[in-house]
Amino acid sequence: MVQVCAGCERPILDRFLLNVLDRPWHVKCVQCCECKAKLTEKCFSREGKLFCKNDFFRRYGTKCAGCLQGILPSDLVRRARSKVFHLNCFTCMVCRKQLSTGEELYVVDENQFICKEDYLTKCQRKSFKPHYNLNSL
């Protein structure tokens, strides 16, 4: 009996087939549905589609509260309250300086911050009224 590939839905007439997710696949069809990289050792799946690790986490993993893009397991992050940010997204909205853990900052909303220096020198003069008080994260 000829098996039908779960990836391309064509008959598998090759010498070898792979069994992934309890379904037969051509060797060449076992690839990430996003980037088309060959999946030789490990793959992730959702809704019958195969993904490489990076594309799976980009699509289904934790999202950065700053840019709303997926956070990869290898990405360095900062946490503020219940939110997670890429390092590059955890910045002062005035001077764009990357903020560090333990640094005093002003929370404008749940996703934007002002460093203490900018708040003291620029924002107070303009009668800027953020929603929250100075916090140390």
77-131: pLDDT as tens digits: 998 878 899 999 999 988 999 988 888 888 887 788 888 888 888 766 655 555 4
Is residue 8 domain-shared with residue 54, that is, in the same domain?
yes
Residue 134 has pLDDT above 60, yes or no: no
On whether residue 25 sits in a domain, the answer given is yes
The percent of the chain in helix, strand and coil, each rounded to the nearest 5, is 15, 30, 50
Are both 56 and 85 inside the same structural domain? no
State the DSSP H helix or E strand holding residue 56, giving kind and residue range, or none if neither: helix 53-60
Intra-chain end-to-end CA distance of the chain, in Å: 63
Beta pairing partners, 119: none
Considering the domain architecture, whether residues 47 and 81 belong to the same structural domain is answered as no
Q: What is the DSSP letter of 6?
A: T
- The domain in which residue 44 lies consists of 3-60
- How many domains does the chain contain in total? 2
Cα gap 89→66, rounded to integer Å: 5
66 located within any domain: no
Grade residue 136 by pLDDT with cuts at 50, 70 and 90. very low
Q: Does residue 127 lie within any of the structural domains?
A: yes
CATH number, position 100 = 2.10.110.10
